Amino acid sequence: MTDHARDRDRDYEQDSLVGDAPLRIRARGRSVLSNPMTNRGTAFTPEERSALDLDGLVPTGITTLENQTRRIYDQFKSTSTMLGKFLTLNALRDRNEVLFYNVLTNYLEEMLPVIYTPTIGEAIERFSHTYNRPRGVFLSIDHPDQIGRALLNYGLGPDDVDLVCVTDSEGILGIGDQGVGGIQIAIGKLSVYTAAAGIHPRRVIPVVLDVGTDNLGLLSNDLYLGERHSRVRGERYDEFIDQFVTTVQELFPKAMIHWEDVGTTNAHRILERYREDVCTFNDDIQGTAAVVLAAILAAVNVTGVDLDDHRIVVFGAGSAGIGIANLVRDTMLRTGAEETEEEAYARFWAIGLQGLYVEGDPSLLDFQRPYARKPADIEGWELERPGHVGLMDVVRNVKPTILIGTSTKGGAFSQEIVEEMAKHTTRPIIFPLSNPTSRAEATPADLIEWTDGQALIATGSPFAPVSHKGVRHVIAQSNNALIFPGLGLGVAACRARQITEGMIAAAADALAGLVNAWRPGASLLPGISDLRLVSATVAIAVAEQAAREGVADNPLSDPIQQVVERMWQPQYPRIEAI
C-alpha cells in the first residue's frame, strides 16, 4: 500500500500485491471488529486477541475459517427469498471481507445468481429502501468539482488500483434507468472479479455517476437517495464523463476503467471516444460479445459449417447485439473467412423492436447503420404486415443458421419462428440471451422440443438441463463472468495500456478452447463451477496478446506462474499488531 493510502486508512496496512503479506493492524478493540478488512470474528487466536485488545469482545471459542464458512452457508440456505440471500451476503461483506469471499468462492455457482444477475436487479430497484452501509464512490454531475476529492476519499493511492467499475445506471440489466441504485451493479461486478479471478478487494473502486434519473417512480419516492432531477444529457454529460476519465487517469494511472450498464445512446460513443487512449472496457458491448463469440465458435465446430457460411440474425440489435455482430465480423475478417468488410456485413441481419434495419431509417444510431440492409435486399418479400419487416419475415426469407436474441422481449422466438428456422438448417444455433429469465426470447426446453433436440443453445440466464429422447442437454449460460474477470486479471498482470479487439478475441478463443461440445447434449461453454480455471486461462491469453500487440508495460516472462501468483486467495493473513 502506498504512503498516500496509509494516510487515508490508519487502521491497517497490507501489501495487496503480495499473496502472503502480513496484515499490520494499528487499530485496537472494537475498531478492529468494525473494519471488514481487519475483522475475523471468532477466528482470532488467543495471542491476536491479547495483542489487539479483543479479550472479552468475542466469544471464547476459536473457530476456523472453514467452520465460519459452514455457519454462513447454513444461514444463507435458511433464508427463503433471493433478495434476503443477497442482503445476508451483503451484511457479511460489511463485517468480514475475507470470510465473504471465502464463502463466495466455495459456493460460487450457487451464489453468483444472488450477488450478480438476476438478483442484483431487485437489489438495485430497492437500493434506497434497503440502504445500510455506504460502499463505493458516488459522483454527482451537480458537483463535478468533487470528483477528485471523492475518489481520493476512498483511501487508495496511484499504485493501489487495478479496476474502476463505473455505471451511469441508465441501462441496468433489463430494468432500465435506476438512478443512484446502480452502484450495486458496480459492487456486484467487482465482487465477481475478486471471487472468480482473485483481484484483491482493496484494488478496486465501484463508482456510480449520478446524472439524475428519468425514472418517475424514483423521483416521486421520498426515500430516493440520488439527485432529484431528470437525467442530464448532451454537452454537460460529455464534459462530466471526460472529467471523470481524466481524473481517474491522473489519480490511478494503472487502472482499467470498466463501463457497466451505460445507456445505448452513450455506451458505444464513450467506448469509441476513449478506447485508443485509455485502458477501458465496456462489458455490455465487449464482454457480452466475447462470451457469445466463444459459444458460436463451439457451436460452429459442432455443425461442421465454416463461420463464413452462416447467416446470422441479431434480434434486438442495440449495444450488446451490435457488439456481438462486430466481434463475429472481425473474427471473419481476421481468420480470412471473409475477404472484405462488405462481405462480412452481408452475413448479418440486424433487427430492432421496430423491425429490420434498412438504409435511410433516421432512428438508427451511428453504430447500427453499418448493419442496415439496402432496400434491394428485401425487394419482393411478402411481409406479414405491409411496410414492416419483422422477425418472422427475416427468418422466412433469409433462412438463418444463427439466431441471437438481445431484445429483452420475452417469448419473441415463438414456436412458429423456431420451426421455420429449423426447416432450413440441421443444427440451428439459437441464443436467447436476454436477462432476467422472464425476458428471455425462448426457454431451452421449448427450443429443444421444437427442433427435436437439434438446437445448439446458449442463454443469458441460468437454466436447468433438459432431457429429450434419452439425451441430457446441458444449457450453456452465456455469462459475462466467463470473460470479464479473466480479462481484468490479464490486463492487471501485464499492465496493459489499452484493451484491443485482438485481446477481446484472444479471450473468446481461450474460452472456446476449454469446451468439448461434440458429446450429445454437451454445453457450448464451461460451467460457472470452473470459473477460477476459466479466468486464469483467459488472463494468460489476454496478457500474451497484449504483449504481441505491444500494449503491455509489463510483458509476462512466465505467464502461468505470474497470473496464478496475482490471484488473491481469501484466507486470513498473518497479523502484526503495530
List, for residues 172-229, the tens digit of each pLDDT value. 876 889 999 999 999 999 999 999 999 999 999 999 999 999 999 999 999 999 999 9
> Does 300 map to a domain?
no
Check 189, 193, 254, 409 and give the catalytic one: 189
> Does 299 map to a domain?
no
Residue 281: which residues within 8 A CB-CB, separation 6 or more?
A: 256, 257, 258, 259, 287, 484, 487, 488, 491, 499
* Least confident piece of the model among 14-18, 333-337, 443-447: 333-337
Rounded to whole angstroms, the Cα distance separating 371 from 439 reads 24
Alpha-carbon distances of 126 from 179, 192, 209, 500, rounded to whole Å? 11, 21, 18, 37
Domain that holds residue 177: 3-285
Average pLDDT, integer, range 480-487? 97
* Least confident piece of the model among 125-129, 146-150, 488-492: 125-129
Backbone phi, psi, residue 3, to 5°: -60, -40
pLDDT of amino acid 437? 84
- pLDDT confidence bin for 3, thresholds 50/70/90: very low
Rounded to whole angstroms, the Cα distance separating 246 from 61 reads 51
pLDDT of amino acid 9? 59
Residue 27, domain CATH: 3.40.50.10380
pLDDT of amino acid 80? 94
Q: Which of 412, 446, 478 marks a domain boundary?
A: 478
- pLDDT confidence bin for 305, thresholds 50/70/90: very high
CB burial readout 374-406, b (16+ within 10 A) else e = eeebbeeeebeeeeebbbebbbbbbebbbbbbb
Average pLDDT, the chain: 94
**274 and 330 housed in the same domain:** no
Q: What is the pLDDT of residues 545-578, one digit of tens each?
A: 999 999 999 999 999 999 999 999 999 999 999 9
**405 and 443 housed in the same domain:** yes
Strand-strand pairing, 348-352 and 312-315: parallel
**488 and 470 housed in the same domain:** no
Residue 415, domain CATH: 3.40.50.720
Bridge partner list, 256? 163
Is residue 423 among the annotated active site residues? Answer: no
Give the CA angle between residues 440, 445, 450 to the nearest 5°: 100
On whether the pTM is more than 0.85, the answer is yes
**155 and 13 housed in the same domain:** yes
Cα dihedral across residues 525, 530, 531, 536: positive or negative: negative
Alpha-carbon distances of 226 from 143, 153, 180, 219, rounded to whole Å? 13, 19, 5, 9
pLDDT of amino acid 338? 59
> Does 118 map to a domain?
yes
Q: Which of 285, 319, 337 marks a domain boundary?
A: 285
**183 and 274 housed in the same domain:** yes
**What count of other Cβ atoms lies within 10 Å of the Cβ of residue 518?**
9
Contact by Cβ (8 Å): 164, 255: yes
- pLDDT confidence bin for 340, thresholds 50/70/90: confident
> Does 140 map to a domain?
yes
Is residue 254 among the annotated active site residues? Answer: no
pLDDT of amino acid 449? 98
Inter-helix orientation angle 501-512/288-303, to 10°: 50
> Does 244 map to a domain?
yes
pLDDT of amino acid 4? 38
Q: What total number of domains does the chain contain?
A: 3
Check 101, 107, 116, 154 and give the catalytic one: 116
- pLDDT confidence bin for 2, thresholds 50/70/90: very low
pLDDT of amino acid 528? 87
- Chain-centroid distance of CA 203 in Å reads 17
pLDDT of amino acid 102? 97
**330 and 399 housed in the same domain:** yes
pLDDT of amino acid 8? 42
> Does 150 map to a domain?
yes
> Does 200 map to a domain?
yes
pLDDT of amino acid 6? 39
- In a 3-state reduction of DSSP, which class is residue 432? strand
Give the CA angle between residues 361, 413, 330 to the nearest 5°: 60
Q: What is the pLDDT of residues 262-286, one digit of tens each?
A: 998 899 999 999 999 999 999 999 9
Q: What percent of the chain has pLDDT over 90?
A: 88
Dihedral Cα 275, 278, 279, 281, nearest 10 deg: -40
* Least confident piece of the model among 32-36, 198-202, 283-287, 330-334: 330-334
pLDDT of amino acid 516? 86
Is it the case that residue 436 has pLDDT exceeding 80? no
Is it the case that residue 35 has pLDDT exceeding 90? yes
Is it the case that residue 5 has pLDDT exceeding 50? no
**509 and 457 housed in the same domain:** no
**470 and 521 housed in the same domain:** no
**508 and 400 housed in the same domain:** no
Average pLDDT, integer, range 40-55? 98
Strand-strand pairing, 256-259 and 163-167: parallel
> Does 127 map to a domain?
yes
Tell me the DSSP string of 485-513.
Answer: HHHHHHHHHHTBSS--HHHHHHHHHHHHT
Q: Which of 437, 461, 478 marks a domain boundary?
A: 478
**Pairwise pLDDT comparison (529 vs 328), residue with the higher score:** 328
**277 and 328 housed in the same domain:** no
Q: What is the pLDDT of residues 345-381, one digit of tens each?
A: 999 999 998 899 999 999 999 999 999 999 999 999 9
Contact by Cβ (8 Å): 555, 490: no
Helices first, then strands: H and E counts in the chain? 24, 17
Q: Give the containing element (helix H, strand E) for 148.
A: helix 147-153
**460 and 525 housed in the same domain:** no
Is it the case that residue 73 has pLDDT exceeding 80? yes
**20 and 103 housed in the same domain:** yes
Short-list 334, 320, 315, 454, CA closest to 391: 315
pLDDT of amino acid 335? 78
Q: Give the containing element (helix H, strand E) for 161.
A: none
Q: What percent of the chain has pLDDT over 70?
A: 98
Is it the case that residue 329 has pLDDT exceeding 90? yes
- In a 3-state reduction of DSSP, which class is residue 172? strand
